Amino acid sequence: MATPAPLPLLLFHGLLALSLALGAHGKPGDHGNLTRQAFPPGFVFGTASSAYQVEGNTLKYGRGPCIWDTFLKYPGTTPDNSTANVTVDEYNRYMDDVDNMVRVGFDAYRFSISWSRIFPNITPYVVLYHYDLPQVLQDQYNGWLSPRIVEDFTKFADFCFKTYGDRVKNWFTINEPRMMAAHGYGDGFFPPARCTGCHFGGNSATEPYIAAHHLLLAHASAVKLYLCTMLIMPESTFQAQQTGKIGILLDFVWYEPLTPSMDDEFAAHRARMFTLGWFLHPITFGHYPETMEKIVMGRLPNFTFEQSAMVKGSADYIAINHYTTYYASNFANETHTSYVNDWHVKLSYERNGVPIGKKGYSDWLYVVPWGLYKALLWTKEKFNNPVMLIGENGIDQSGNDSLPGALYDKFRIDYFEKYLYELQCAIHDGANVIGYFAWSLLDNFEWRLGFTSKFGIVYVDRTTFARYPKDSARWFRKMIKNE
């Protein structure tokens, strides 16, 4: 069991939980009549993708293999046995996608730079790393399990800053480091598919924390390279020369207590700290959350004094990738020691037989708009009100949907409408959110789901790769352009 928090912490979380439970947020307007003018001046609307999921041409133009290429060679890795070798061929068709974004009225495109293109007419928000570790680094020294990765990632970042920094003013270091640590080294669901009892070996009790530690240090080292002011020539830093900003993308499901009991309140708090807090707490305060330190103890790596100083404050902004909300209840799984069992939490999708929200196509995705409001207000209160963006938000449909039916995605419009309304309320109540990126532009390759799940606001014909905007794209155009 987790050690109870001291009284001041109990009071803080009790008051915050009461505020969130009461839904004490303002009502800026009707969610059915959202307009761009309802958001602050300068608010950025964009859409998002990642290089591996959209580019294709994985075997051409000198590209080396990454860990996902290797992983997908095993039959059954995706339900349809698909790979990303071609995906939606954005490598050759990126101008069509830029044209679609311009027509909708999006301000920005968030994409990863692994082998990316720099797009005209749309402001780029570039992610240095989105899951696709070069296989050679995994083969040489086990990738994120080795401290050597920090230096190599920093060299990669240095190359990107030098090569693209004159055009890129908005950087993210890493997308969803928690997902890579938890699924790459905790349950083997993502490459390199390591975990206790996995075919490739591993230790679910230690390796997720080691990988996460190196992900944090790599992030902070790249940020230091970009931001650090030289005493002799301060004007020589990347940020000073290129006038850009840099941050990180963190996934955050909102965890709502299943019951009002103190046990479940603490369970929900642990779930939040073992997910968002795992990374944002060090970035804000220079060390891991006390909740994690007390439970994980010696299995949790320590920061040196120099590392703590480097990690603390290592972001101009934080992007939150948010899709859904779960109930959390107190539960101790003592069958084996692992990252997920360390939470002492049971997650559920319903309370007293009532689902937490309408289910999307994916089993894990429920439509719970108020969860976004609570997630943003909790982050505001817990982590000193950082500058935030919504880095991903969206809902999927079946990959079997075909033309013309696939274009009539009213359920997706309803999702965006309700989540953007809650975002608007969170901003009204003090959350410092400056932008929103819908996931995703295209019906692209969705990792372990292959092409059986489609999140796009643009349908892609799998034979011709022709693009067809869905009703949700037209809705965004009307909302952004007020047409």
- Per-residue CA distances from 395 to 160, 212, 372, 389, 435 (Å): 32, 27, 14, 18, 18
Give me the pLDDT at residue 5, please. Answer: 36
The model's pTM is 0.92
User: Under the phi-then-psi rule, with left for phi > 0, alpha for psi from -120 to 50, and beta for the rest, what region is 140?
Assistant: alpha
Please count the other Cβ atoms lying within 10 Å of the Cβ belonging to residue 216. Answer: 27
Give me the pLDDT at residue 208, please. Answer: 98
In this prediction, residue 59 has a pLDDT band, given cuts at 50, 70 and 90, of confident
CA dihedral 142, 162, 119, 220 (to 10 degrees): 50
User: Does residue 263 contact residue 363 with C-beta atoms inside 8 Å?
Assistant: no
Please count the other Cβ atoms lying within 10 Å of the Cβ belonging to residue 320. Answer: 23
Radius of gyration of the chain measured on its C-alpha atoms: 22
Does residue 249 sit in helix, strand or coil?
A: strand
Spot the catalytic one: 176, 207, 265, 446.
176
- Per-residue CA distances from 95 to 92, 98, 99, 472 (Å): 8, 5, 6, 20
Sole residue written with tokens 């959110």: 433
What does the block give as tokens for 36?
């761009």
What does the block give as tokens for 391?
């880095």
Cα separation, 64 vs 55, whole angstroms: 14
For residue range 122-162, list pLDDT tens digits in order.
899 999 999 999 989 999 999 999 999 999 999 999 989 99
Give me the pLDDT at residue 260, please. Answer: 97
β 345-348/325-330 pair status: antiparallel
Got the DSSP string for 289-357? -HHHHHHHGGGS----HHHHHHHTT--SEEEEE---EEEEEE----SS--TTGGG-EEEESEETTEESS
For residue range 204-219, list pLDDT tens digits in order.
999 999 999 999 999 9
Is position 265 annotated as part of the catalytic site?
A: no
Q: Which residue has the higher pLDDT, 377 or 114?
A: 377
Cα separation, 274 vs 252, whole angstroms: 10
Is position 176 annotated as part of the catalytic site?
A: yes
Cα separation, 97 vs 47, whole angstroms: 11
Spot the catalytic one: 55, 256, 265, 392.
392
Domains in the chain: ranges and CATH: 7-481 (3.20.20.80)
Q: Which residues is 110 bridged to in the sheet? A: 48, 125
